[in-house]
């Protein structure tokens, strides 16, 4: 396997006596990989990013960039020497400089005369060439964010760190900017780490995600792995709505549940906690038949689909159906699994 660009192990940081806010964190980021640190507010994402950048100093653990030890209790390489680019939530562009000057400013290592040409090249790559003479306050949020990205990648850093870079944008612009930024990073061959508390953002932007809780990583995996095969109850619930229930596994990948037998993605024995996403369940109309029949207790129209709340065999379920599959509240139904996932 190719060596990772970034290797982190046992990274730990406390600010006071209340215990570590980053606790034994470890992960690798590959070349040209987009990695996300996802978790609730205060779980230690930004502190992890600041430790990688060299803005904080760790009390245990190691950070290596291309095999070079840049951070440990004994070593703290100067942030400038780590060759890392940054993109923040508030863009942090210099307000008195044009887009071009902002990007050129990041090229201090380059010969002064070559800076504008190089800056223009990168602005071109980010689709911002025609706005090069605009001041930041003459640009939309999405455009400012693309200039900020151009500024971060212009010096060809080894790694780009992005802290909630899209949260200042409205929903429509956020989606399109995210797609463009991902494409630019991929085309430039850059590795990046995105910090976000928004699970949809992490799922759509990253190649792999580390889900953090209370200073620790609970699971690392592709978007599909963490969403459909969460390893803990926290990951299952943080990644989106889900149906959690206990069931008996028989030593194979078969599990007997109240919804009938389902297949899981590994072999297990005994009582396990299952997570089935609402879109992996479906509903069938049926005649009332005592306890064997479910009843629809609520319905939310969401545009692309409909969420039903169902009471079935004494348990509550959430089911997303295609918006052509219509049921009324109080209708009798059976809940059926389409494809299962397991905690």
Q: Write out the residues near ligand ATP by the rule CB under 6 A.
A: 15, 21, 39, 41-47, 197
Q: Where are the alpha helices (DSSP H) in 2-62?
A: 45-53
Nearest-5° angle of CA 85, CA 91, CA 97? 95
Pick the closest to residue 23 from 50, 56, 48, 52 (CA basis). 48
Least distance (Å) between residue 44 CB and ligand ATP = 4
Least distance (Å) between residue 312 CB and ligand ATP = 37
Least distance (Å) between residue 197 CB and ligand ATP = 5
Cβ neighbors of 176 (< 8 A, separation 6 or more) are 142
Cβ proximity to ligand ATP: between 21 and 63 the closer is: 21
Cβ proximity to ligand ATP: between 82 and 197 the closer is: 197
CA dist 341 and 266 (Å) reads 10
Least distance (Å) between residue 68 CB and ligand ATP = 24
* Ordered strands of the 254-257 beta sheet: 260-263, 254-257, 243-250, 269-276
Q: Which residues of 136-155 are buried (b: 16+ CB within 10 A; e: fewer)?
A: beebeebbbbbbbbbbbbbb
Tokens of 277: 């996403």
Cβ proximity to ligand ATP: between 39 and 54 the closer is: 39
CA dist 163 and 178 (Å) reads 13
* Sign of the four-CA dihedral 284, 289, 290, 296: positive
Least distance (Å) between residue 212 CB and ligand ATP = 7
Least distance (Å) between residue 232 CB and ligand ATP = 17
Cβ proximity to ligand ATP: between 43 and 236 the closer is: 43
Cα 181 versus chain centre, distance: 14
Least distance (Å) between residue 221 CB and ligand ATP = 19
Cβ proximity to ligand ATP: between 47 and 102 the closer is: 47
| DSSP secondary structure letters along 133-193 | T--GGGS-HHHHHHHHHHHHHTT--SEEEEESTTTTS-HHHHHHHHHHHHHHHHHHT--EE
Cβ proximity to ligand ATP: between 167 and 323 the closer is: 167
Least distance (Å) between residue 226 CB and ligand ATP = 17
Cβ neighbors of 224 (< 8 A, separation 6 or more) are none
Cβ proximity to ligand ATP: between 47 and 275 the closer is: 47
Cβ proximity to ligand ATP: between 50 and 132 the closer is: 50
Q: Would you report the helix, strand and coil content of the chain in percent, each value rounded to 5?
A: 30, 35, 35
């Amino acid at each position: 396997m190719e060596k990772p660009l970034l290797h982190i192990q046992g990274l730990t940081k406390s600010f006071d006596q209340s215990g570590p806010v980053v606790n034994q964190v470890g992960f690798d980021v590959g070349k040209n990989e987009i990695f996300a640190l996802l978790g609730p507010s205060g779980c230690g994402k930004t502190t992890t990013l600041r430790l990688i950048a060299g803005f904080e100093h760790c009390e245990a653990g190691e950070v290596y960039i291309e095999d070079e030890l840049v951070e440990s209790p004994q070593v703290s390489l100067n942030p400038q020497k780590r060759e890392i680019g940054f993109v923040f939530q508030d863009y942090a562009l210099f307000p008195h400089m044009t887009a071009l000057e902002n990007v050129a400013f990041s090229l201090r290592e380059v010969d002064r005369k070559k800076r504008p040409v190089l800056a223009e090249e990168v602005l071109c790559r980010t689709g911002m060439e025609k706005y090069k003479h605009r001041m930041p306050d003459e640009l939309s949020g999405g455009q400012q964010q693309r200039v900020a990205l151009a500024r971060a990648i212009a010096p060809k850093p080894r790694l780009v760190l992005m802290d909630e870079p899209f949260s200042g944008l409205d929903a429509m612009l956020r989606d399109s900017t995210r797609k463009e930024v991902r494409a630019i990073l991929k085309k430039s061959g850059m590795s990046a780490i995105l910090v976000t508390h928004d699970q949809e953002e992490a799922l759509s932007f990253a190649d792999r995600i580390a889900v953090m809780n209370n200073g620790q990583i609970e699971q690392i995996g592709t978007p599909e792995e963490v969403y459909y095969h969460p390893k803990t109850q926290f990951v299952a619930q943080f990644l989106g709505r889900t149906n959690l229930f206990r069931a008996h596994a028989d030593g194979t990948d078969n599990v007997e549940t109240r919804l009938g037998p389902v297949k899981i993605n590994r072999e297990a024995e005994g009582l396990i906690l299952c997570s089935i996403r609402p879109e992996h369940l479906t509903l069938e109309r049926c005649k009332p038949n005592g306890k064997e029949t479910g009843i629809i207790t609520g319905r939310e129209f969401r545009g692309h689909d409909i969420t039903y709340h169902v009471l079935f065999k004494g348990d509550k379920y959430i089911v997303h159906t295609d918006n052509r599959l219509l049921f009324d509240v109080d209708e009798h139904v059976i809940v059926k699994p389409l494809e299962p996932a397991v905690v």
